Every structure is written in C-alpha cells, then in structure tokens.
Structure 1
Amino acid sequence: MKKGIVYNLNPFNNETDMSSAEYIIKKLLAFILIYVISAVLGEGVIIGILYGMGYDPLHGIMPAGEISELLPYYGFLIFSLVTLLYCRFVEKKNIKSVGFSGNPADYLTGISVAAILLFVILGIGCLCGSISFCGFNTNVSITGILLWALAFGIQGAAEEIMCRGFLLNSLKNRIPIPLAILISSTAFVFPHLSSLVEADSVYVVVGIINLYLVSIVFSMLVLWRSNIWIACGLHSAWNFILYVIMGLSLSGSESVSKGVVLFSVKDASILNGAEYGIEASVITTAVLGMLLFFMVKRWKGRICRNDIS
C-alpha cells in the first residue's frame, strides 16, 4: 500500500521509498530538527555549567576572560552528538556513513589547505594596502591557544558533520551532485546570515557569495576524498588561524583576538571586508573562485556522472 506524504516527510522514520522532492524535503526537515534540538540542548548545557560555576547567565553575570567566549564553541559538541545519534537510531546508519572513514590524515591536508588559502588572501591584502602586518605578539598564552584550538576543532567538525556528513551524504546518491551541493551549502549558509545582517549591503552580498564558495569547496573535497576529515580540518583550521593566529575578525564577531601574528585593518573597504573581516572581502572571493574553478575544471565530467571520487 502506498504511504501518504505525511508519513514520507516524517523525519522520525527511515523511509526512503518516495519521490526525490519528498526525499529532499524530508532531509531538510531532519536537518532543521537536529539543528533546533541541538541549539536548545547546547544552550541549556552551557547555562547549567555556568550556574554550576556560580554565575547567573540569565541575569548577565558571566565569567571574565575567555571562558564565556569559549563555552559556546564547546557547546557545538551537542550538535555533533545529536546528528550522530539521529543517524544511528533513526536512519539506522553507522558512523562511517557520516564520513568518518578513509584516511584520518586527510585532516592534516585540510589544515594545510586552510593555511595556504589564508596566507594567499592576507598576502594579497597586504600588497593592496588594505591590511598591514604589525609584527608578532610576545605575550601569548599557550594554554589559551590550545583551548581555542580544541574549541574550533569541535565547532568546525560539528558544522561539517551536519552539513556534509549528514545532509550532503544523504542527498548525493539520490539527486544530481550539483543539486545536492547547492542544497547542503544553503543549509550551511543560512545559520551564518545573522552575523551579516548589520553590515552594509555590499558586504552582505560578498559575504554570502563567499559562504557559498567555501561551502562548495568543502563539499567537493568531501566527495573527492570520500570522507569529511579533510573538510573538518580545513574548516576548523580556517577559523583558528584567522581568529587566534592572525587575530582578525571571524564572521563579523564583535570580539577580536590579539593574535600571535599582529595585523591591522586599515580603512574599511571591500578589500578587507570592513567589520565583518576578510570573509566579506572580494580578495577572498577571487581566491576561492579561482580554487573552485580549477576543481570544477578537473572534475567536470565526473560531476555530471555523479562521480568525483
């Protein structure tokens, strides 16, 4: 007997015998469900921890220093756990289906790619005069660096597990790869929009374009390597190097790290992304665009055949 659309779209079952349109909607509903549950649980856990430490976050009484900044990043562990539990107990899949297969050394490859990309982007920014190199910070906390490295490792992995490990991998065998990449990239971009809304319109446009470009790069690397190790490494290292090592604004964050290497942003311009940072810079657009161009050129035929491995 043919099942109804309500049953097919229910994200709490692992039914897959349905139209492609229904399947896409079902996976998007599951993504939203995972996101909302994770956000609520994560917020609750953080509030509970702060109360346990003797603070009152609901009335603005927060710990001084970096603890209050670090905790939300550690809260992303909840997003990873909820996603993995959903895949295991609702979709009846194992952890390898999310992309934790292949060679874990690909994580280091991702870190290397992030470092090269940021070196090129910052180098061009310095040559254009929109960013200045000011020297090195001699007052660096090794403990702080390690805590931030772990924080961004958790946060970057969580976003990749959700967007690439769960959503992209769920869609890629059912619909054309370009469409699967577009849908999963939109799911990646949407939560980042809140930090862009206060920027001038030109930075909003460039920021959104860059979010899509980097998400597509992540997706193609995941499909190429058949795992998410490389995307986790690239994503986490990008955030860590940009914020902690270079001390620049990360996705428009109000707080700015002092950085290990000291840079200063000159007059706000489309070259440096103004308050939002280089993630809303046209230099970043050009660098990511060129990288994506060469990736697509290399895998063009295989993309059309749903095979870029």
Structure 2
Amino acid sequence: MNENQSRLIEGFRSEKKKPNTVVSVLLLIFTVALAFVLMIVGQIIGGIVIGVITLAVPTDMGMTTNTILNLVFIFGGMAVVFMLYVKFIQKRKVRTLGFYKENAGKNYIKGFFIGIAMMTISVLICYATGSMKPTTTASGVAVGAAAIGPVLLILIGWIIQGGTEEIITRGWLLPVIGARYNVILAIIISSSFFGLLHLGNNNVGVLPMINLILFGVFAAVYALREGAIWGVMGIHSAWNWAQGNIFGIEVSGNPVVGGTIFKFNNSGSQFISGGGFGIEGGIACTIVLVIGILIVYKFMNKEVLR
C-alpha cells in the first residue's frame, strides 16, 4: 500500500476493530454522537468569543462583519476543540488529522482552484440550459468592482469554515471509522454526517441532501488519494466562496453576504439550478460531483479503500 495515500487512515490505526458486533455498533454510534458534541462545544466557545467582541465594540458592525465573525470564531472554535481532543484525549499528534507538511501549500492552492473550477462548470451548465442568467444588481449587496473589497474580506471566513468542516468530517470522522471498521463504511458515514449538518438549512430537500452527500464522497476519496486534507480544505473553501461571492448564488440555502463579483438568478428549471437552496440543490451540481468522484477514483490507489 502506498504510504502517502494511506496515511490519513494510518494515523488512527491504533483504533482497534471490535470483534463483538454489539460493541462495534455502539462504538460507531458513540463516535458519530461525539462528533456532534465536540462541534457544539466549539460553537459555544466561539459564541462566547463573539459575545466578548460585541461587548467591546457596542456599535452595529453590520451583516458582513457579523457573518465573518461567525465563520471565523464559531467554526474556528470547533476546529480548536477537535485539535485539543486529538492531542490530549486521543493522545495523537494534531498532524494525524491530515496536516502533513509535504506539499501542503501546493496541495491547498491546487484544491482551491479545483473548487473554483467545479463551481464554474456547474454555473456554466445552468447558464447554457437557461436555468440561470446573470444580472447587474442584487438586493442588499454590492455587485461588480464595488464588491471586490468585501469579497476578499469574507474569503477569510470561508477559509476557516471550509477548513473546519473538513477537519471534522474528512480529518477526524473518516479516519477514525476507517481505521476501526473499513474505509467504505467510513466514506458512507462521514459523507452522510456532512449532509445531516445542513438538514436545518433554508430550502433543503431530497436533491440538495443527495448533492451534499456526493460532495462528502468526493472530498473523502480526494483526501484519501492525497493522504491529507489540505486539498479538500482548499476545494471546500473555494467552492463556497465562488458560489456565494463570485457568482452571487445562495450557499446551501444561505443568502449572499458581503458582495459578489457576478450575480446569477434562477430563470428556468430549478431542478437544474437548485432554486432557493442554491446551485448545490440542482442536477447541474450532481453531474459535476459525480464526474469529479469518477475522475478521482480512476487515479487513486484502490488498495486504500480496503
């Protein structure tokens, strides 16, 4: 087995498989529940930090600033909690979450551009089919050159948010389950977990949930192939940023905040464009994600999945 491709799982190999079926099932449930608990603890810590900042700056900071604070501190709090849990409870090095140093910057940048490319292709499919069309105005947010400043500023928040979700799902949950049981089950559970995290979002439905799970599968096989999470962190952050602040489309049901370079509105079939959930809720996104999964699978070492 290629060491580079397997080390995402190898970092947690001491999580022994449990021979007793009942124990195995209970431990699996506990692992998923633990992920939720650690996330909640991180959110609480992040909320406290934001509360302190709000008290120190009593004036209204505006929606863009509040959004950035939430992305940075709520998700940042979760990332810190998972790192502390790995280091002090599981007694592992934080790098086993997928933070291996080899080609870290190169892999992140490569992933970032892949994320933008995948979102761009999804938008082009919608445009070509007439299900989306560009406009020059948007309600409550700047569009075009006037939006460049806030668009770049909110990228900081997306970097933290996307990176944190990858730490939780592909950096921790995927390898813990993969090492204890098997990698296929780990992909299914971690991808489903990722989808469930968005269950309360605006305009969520069956196809949006399918696409979110497909994104999880794509990110999982990409991370396994890379043997680290730098690439998927870049993909995830760029995907959200491009969706909301380059093309002006709702991000998993959340409205555009801060500004956008372009603004695309639904103009035809919402089955293709995703409607109010954003492009992640449409078949255009499904096509891109399925192709992405097949491409990564073609070039990965299949032994990793055993």
Equivalent residue letter for 1:235: H
Equivalent residue letter for 1:260: I
Query: Percent identity between the aligned chains?
Result: 26
SS in 2 for 1:138: helix
Aligned pair 1:82/2:88, yes or no?
no
The alpha carbon displacement at 1:236 in A equals 0.4
The alpha carbon displacement at 1:174 in A equals 2.1
Q: How does 1:98-177 map to 2 (within 5 A)?
A: 98-101=97-100, 102-104=102-104, 105-134=106-135, 137-142=144-149, 144-177=150-183
The alpha carbon displacement at 1:15 in A equals 7.8
Equivalent residue letter for 1:67: T
* 1:44-63 residue CA offsets vs partner (Å, 9 max, x unmatched): 221222122115xxxxxx53
Q: Residues 178 and 303 of structure 1 are in contact (CA less than 8 Å); yes or no, is this contact kept in structure 2? A: no
- The gaps in structure 1 that reach 5 residues or longer are 1-13, 56-61
Aligned pair 1:178/2:184, yes or no?
yes
- Judged with a 3 Å threshold, the aligned counterparts in structure 2 of structure 1 residues 81 and 300 are, in CA distance, closer, same or farther, namely closer
Equivalent residue letter for 2:147: V
- Judged with a 3 Å threshold, the aligned counterparts in structure 2 of structure 1 residues 99 and 186 are, in CA distance, closer, same or farther, namely same
For residue 96 of structure 2, what is the aligned residue in structure 1? 97
Q: Where is the helix percentage greater, Structure 1 or Structure 2? A: 2
The alpha carbon displacement at 1:25 in A equals 2.8
1 CA distance for matches of 2:217 and 2:161?
19
Q: Residues 115 and 236 of structure 2 are in contact (CA less than 8 Å); yes or no, is this contact kept in structure 1? A: yes
Aligned pair 1:283/2:281, yes or no?
no
* 1:245-271 residue CA offsets vs partner (Å, 9 max, x unmatched): 111111111345541123232256211
| Count of residues in correspondence between the two structures | 280
For residue 209 of structure 2, what is the aligned residue in structure 1? 208
2 CA distance for matches of 1:294 and 1:140?
35
Aligned pair 1:52/2:56, yes or no?
yes
For residue 27 of structure 1, what is the aligned residue in structure 2? 31
Could you tell me the TM-score, scaled by structure 1's length?
Answer: 0.83
2 CA distance for matches of 1:141 and 1:193?
31
SS in 2 for 1:271: helix
- Judged with a 3 Å threshold, the aligned counterparts in structure 2 of structure 1 residues 128 and 17 are, in CA distance, closer, same or farther, namely closer
For residue 71 of structure 2, what is the aligned residue in structure 1? 73
Could you tell me the TM-score, scaled by structure 2's length?
Answer: 0.84
The alpha carbon displacement at 1:89 in A equals 0.1
2 CA distance for matches of 1:292 and 1:231?
13
The alignment yields a C-alpha RMSD, in angstroms, of: 2.2
Q: Which moved more, 1:92-101 or 1:287-296?
A: 287-296
SS in 1 for 2:251: coil
Aligned pair 1:40/2:44, yes or no?
yes
2 CA distance for matches of 1:71 and 1:126?
33
SS in 2 for 1:160: helix
Q: Residues 253 and 278 of structure 2 are in contact (CA less than 8 Å); yes or no, is this contact kept in structure 1? A: yes
Equivalent residue letter for 1:73: L
